[in-house]
Amino acid sequence: MFAEERHRVMGDRVASQGRVTVAELAQQLDITRETVRRDLAQLEQEGILRRVHGGAVATRTTSTVEESLSVRTSLNHEQKSRIAAAAVELLPAGATSVVLDAGTTTELFAQAMGSSLGTSRAADLLVLTHSVPVAYRVAASGSFQLEVIGGRVRALTSAATGASTIDQFRALRPDIAFIGANGIDADFGLSTPDPLEAAVKSAIVACARRVVVLADSSKLGEQTLIRFAALDQVDTLVTDTAPGPDLAAALERADVDVTLA
């Protein structure tokens, strides 16, 4: 198993279990304890976990903490891939325009969309995005029409932000938008840590005829600093685990469909 694969597995285990030990990781991955310790040290430097005696625990989330794109790529990768594959099925047959938000799950969605849609279907679809990685995925497929929404790119997320980005989205009326969120809470709604990102997400939600949220279960029940949409502003949530009772009830009241991947 390559180091990148080991890191992905370790990150997922810590995220899902809250704590892992060196001994169990060494046994499960069939590697030495020294290799486990080196891997955990690297993951700690990337902010994915915090080392403790005998193993590692999850890094506590605060309202303004925002991991880099490279760090988020390794977190919950399997769940995000399932979410992306399930979300492709929600793309309406008659849709001709789709907005893809920035984020690791929407990037996987772009990849899944490129491999799932037929050539003629893809050729009729205009994809609009302000995300550099998402735009790269779409362009690499060679199948879709692509329009990149410009602005000043944030180094942390590789996404365009600012007034010009918002104005460009406000001038659009796409058939459907697929967006990400850092937190989805029964009372607070959808949130993200950064005000620039939040403003762009709000503009996307407001402009689209239909809004689909792609969020793995680690985001459910969480609140980050800035709310960018209420639950009743979205149509569908695609996630990997059924929401807890409070959030499930709030989603039902807001008439949000929940699709489990």
Q: What is the pLDDT of residue 60?
A: 55
Which domains are assigned to the chain?
A: 1-56 (1.10.10.10), 67-258 (3.40.50.1360)
Residue 191 β-bridge partners: 183, 227
pLDDT, tens digit (0-9, with 9 covering 90-100), for 106-115: 999 999 998 8
Q: What is the pLDDT of residue 223?
A: 85
Q: How many Å apart are CA 23 and CA 72, to the nearest integer?
A: 25
Query: What residues of the chain score a pLDDT lower than 50?
Result: 61
Q: How many Å apart are CA 242 and CA 150, to the nearest integer?
A: 36
Residue 116: burial class (beta carbons within 10 Å; 0-12, 13-18, 19+): middle
Are 205 and 211 within 8 A, CB to CB? yes
Q: What is the pLDDT of residue 222?
A: 85
Reference 213, options 187, 251, 166; nearest CA is 251
pLDDT, tens digit (0-9, with 9 covering 90-100), for 149-160: 999 999 889 999
Q: What is the pLDDT of residue 72?
A: 57
Reference 133, options 117, 110, 149; nearest CA is 110
Q: What is the pLDDT of residue 63?
A: 54
- Segment holding 152, helix H or strand E: strand 152-154
